[in-house]
Chain A
Amino acid sequence: LAKTTQPISMDSYEGQEVNITCSHNNIATNDYITWYQQFPSQGPRFIIQGYKTKVTNEVASLFIPADRKSSTLSLPRVSLSDTAVYYCLVAGYSTLTFGKGTMLLVSP
């Protein structure tokens, strides 16, 4: 399974755009990139998934360069409720391996 590296923590203010980058240098051909969000006392929640280029949904955008060795989760105009831990996972099958995640703190 591909190992991922992402920032331990990030701080932002309400209304800003937040970009969290994840490195996955040894990503395999079959691997997809999936991001999850986790609030305290809750299970991880699926945000977005992509294989290459750009994916956008109502919550976020995911940017994946051509070499797929990294990916960037973009959260537009964050609010206080976006304060959470964000996990980047890479896997070709659903046996996901979670890393330490990025703790995003959004302040007023």
Chain B
Amino acid sequence: EAGVTQFPSHSVIEKGQTVTLRCDPISGHDNLYWYRRVMGKEIKFLLHFVKESKQDESGMPNNRFLAERTGGTYSTLKVQPAELEDSGVYFCASSQVGMNSPLHFGNGTRLTVT
């Protein structure tokens, strides 16, 4: 089966611009998560979708970040306007329904804001 795919793998933008990251989860996985690692820091949870609904968005840093999962399939994470501190690696993960189902991660999108 195809794994979690993320696009683009790397994005370089200027401060103030907008960037949209995309995640395609494993087919059939209702749970979709976004995580972020800022340089030198730990991987931090951003939010969790169950199908198209936001289950938990407590990790979203501020209202410049908007995540959507229309139709309960792929998800997008938009940063608008981007700031320097948004630079980092954004990971997407998906899992099957059920508590403690292992997460399957994509290889991440490296975002550089200059």
A residues with CB within 8 A of B:
30, 32, 34, 36, 41-46, 49, 91-100
Contact = CB atoms under 8 A, between A and B. Distances in A.
Nearest to A41: B107
B69 to A, nearest CB: 15
A44 B99 contact: no
B42 A94 contact: no
B43 A98 contact: yes
Contacts of A42: 105, 107-108
B103 interface: yes
Contacts of B4: 43
A74 to B, nearest CB: 19
A98 B106 contact: no
B28 interface: no
B93 interface: yes
Q: 10 tightest CB-CB pairs across the interface, nearest first?
A: A43-B105, A98-B43, A46-B102, A32-B100, A44-B105, A43-B91, A42-B107, A43-B107, A43-B106, A98-B42
B95 interface: yes
B105 A45 contact: yes
29 contacts: A30-B99, A34-B100, A34-B102, A42-B107, A42-B108, A43-B92, A43-B93, A43-B105, A43-B106, A44-B91, A44-B93, A45-B105, A46-B104, A92-B99, A93-B99, A93-B100, A94-B31, A94-B33, A94-B48, A94-B95, A94-B99, A94-B101, A95-B45, A95-B48, A96-B45, A97-B45, A98-B35, A98-B42, A98-B44
